[in-house]
Structure 1
Amino acid sequence: MTFYGPVGPLSGKTTLTVVVWLLCWVALHLALRKREVEGRRVVTASLVLIGLGLGLVGTFPMFFQAFSPVK
């Protein structure tokens, strides 16, 4: 998936990611536009998802070695 030659396949990956993100944003807007949403539940769910994401990223050696005191 190369959309721009000098960038290579990264251009396709980032473009596809942004398109999927926008589609999800539109779907959530349409699903929740006429509902009252409790803020506390949204914040809690967001923090849990962020924690899970950081937990996953933290398992990659390139990430945790960057913070290691031993080089």
Structure 2
Amino acid sequence: MNEVKASMAGSVWKLVVQQGEEVSEGQDIAILESMKMEIPIPSEASGSVKELKVSEGDFVNEGDVIAIIE
């Protein structure tokens, strides 16, 4: 199990994957918006998206879990 975490504080602008989807290491999971910048959040491992912990529009802090990859 691998937790994909926010690299900085910001709003979840877009979720790029859905629960159950297969992802590759380095593939973007979500895009955060902070200070008018878009920050992609990549998966650190290949596998299946077991759970998305956030929704579009949610605010996250640095280190918050965005998704669980299994």
Classify the TM-score, shorter chain.
under 0.3
The structure in which a higher percent of residues are strand is 2
- Flag the structure with larger Rg: 1
Q: TM-score, normalised by structure 1?
A: 0.17
Comparing both chains, which one has the higher relative contact order based on Cα–Cα distances under 8 Å and sequence gaps of 6 or more?
2
Q: Return the structure number with greater helix share.
A: 1
